[in-house]
Structure 1
Amino acid sequence: MVVESETKAPEAAARPSAPRVEVLPPRDVPLGGPRAMTVRRTLPQRNRSLIGAWCFADHYGPDDVADTGGMDVAPHPHTGLQTVSWLFTGEIEHRDSLGIHAFVRPGELNLMTSGHGISHSELSTPATTVLHGVQLWVALPEEHRNTGRDFHHHTPSPVPVPGGEARVFLGSLAGDTSPVPTFTPLLGAELTLAPGATTTLAVDPAFEHGLLVDRGDVLLEGTPLRPADLGYLAPGAGTLTITNTSDTPARLILLGGTPFEEQIVMWWNFIGRSMDDITRAREDWMTGDRFGEVKGYPGDRLPAPELPATPLKPRGRVR
């Protein structure tokens, strides 16, 4: 921050401009095959595929499961990524081909590493009346994208920030550090801000950041963001200033990471580096045992859709 003196020299009168915030609006997408629920997707977009290694962001709810049927995603495969599940309300039953049977609950991180290949199912539980949360993906770097399957669970404690609190599920923020390992430097945290509160957070200037608004109207570095918007900031700033302009508490998901310099090919539930990677993964899902078996799900697994007629193009960081 530049503080003006009472006597202003011409060169001292100019203030540095606030970092430019790019606003990424959501689009509605059906999720989960024939029993689809609708989610709001902000990553990837045509003009921005990545924020750090974060390559996918779905935001859903609050949904009354009596009306929507809740979440019922049959066993499906993943390659080359990590899935990050974070709930605000509700409960989801997770089963995977590593043999993990776990539950996603509000304020608890479930992180699954696919590596060379994993499959899993996601099913909201009978105890769930309202389902509300985010599903995020992290792209694995080339040297680790064929790593083994893995799973981590972590319940972060809330830590105070000016005007609210944070729950840090990946990386470090506000003096707290998640113990969950990542393959590239990352930040993931839930923030809540009181009505009318402003907070300024110290962040790593080497990171690019994204702020996803769950509820409330906020200003990110002076730029308005509405619920379901994702605000993007390029690397360079050592602080982020967020103001809740609402008369109710705001809830936000803050994502960050060092720029991911590799190009990736994303299609369906796979991340590779070429069309051949994607084609091979699809064939392995349909005919092989690369992805293992999900035991205990009450139904059939999802078939892979047909590949597009035109070759998939790699995409990467917008410079």
Structure 2
Amino acid sequence: MSAPTPQMHTGFLLYRRGRWAYVAAALAAISGLAYVLHHPHGAPNGGTWLGYALGTIGAALVVWLAWLGVRKRRYRSSGAPVQGWLSAHVYLGLALLLVGTLHTGLHFGWNIHTLAYVLMLCVIASGAYGVIAYSRYPSAITRHHAQGNRDAWLAEVFDLGEQALAIADRLGADVHRVVLRSNDRLRIGGNFLQQLRGIRPQTDVASLLPPMFRSKLEGERSQDLPATSTVMFMASRITRADKLRSGVGDARQLLDVLAQRNALVERINEDLRLHARMRVWLYLHVPLTLALLAALIAHIVAVFIYW
């Protein structure tokens, strides 16, 4: 299955005034009523006529819902638009939860049948997260991009790093060396888990202030300020420093540039976090769906051979 495009994240749940919600609700109601009225010999189970009927409906739903990914790529196909298929996918997937549960008769064990049921639950849960993600994150990403895009931000981070090095040259070799190390230690993105968790490695730039200025502020600086706040704090204190002292202007400019650079890095990491949280469900939903199809085939074969 493939991800829906951000443009369709709004409205697919209410496609045709929620037509598929009513269809799914009717299917769930009929299945539940039949289960309540059914009185088999012994406990309800998948081997009764109702169990077979619900199992057939459930298997058909699994195969049909899995077809959405193929259908979405057939751009020239006729029939319902992708938005309608997506609405059906969501609501009938929720109905499958009840149909599949009633099919089991609440009998579970360490076997392929229970494995298929557990995989079905995992697929439905990952799909539910997908609905939440595509209802929440695209609008957040749009708001986040109101001030630009990631490529422009990355280019600006590079330019600010070069500006910081040029200013550091005027403050001495030690400052240049520290700023160069600071640029090298910037972490944007990281691995997928870091993007997903939104890790924000911060570069403490307090040490970038030359000793002649740092000693002036050391007694007043809070030890608990985060990196960005430290930059702004020192910049405000330098503004009040002796304007006649050599290098104060360069030091203040350096801290301003580094503050802008750090803010951009934070913005890029936030953008990566939003995108990672929006697409993570696919890394689970698609493999779990394939595993469910395999387990479903094994379940059906086992039923016809041994039952």
Which bracket does the TM-score occupy, shorter chain normalised? under 0.3
The two structures have a TM-score, normalised by structure 2, of 0.19
The one of the two structures with greater contact order (alpha-carbon pairs below 8 A, sep at least 6) is 2
- Bigger proportion of residues as strand: 1
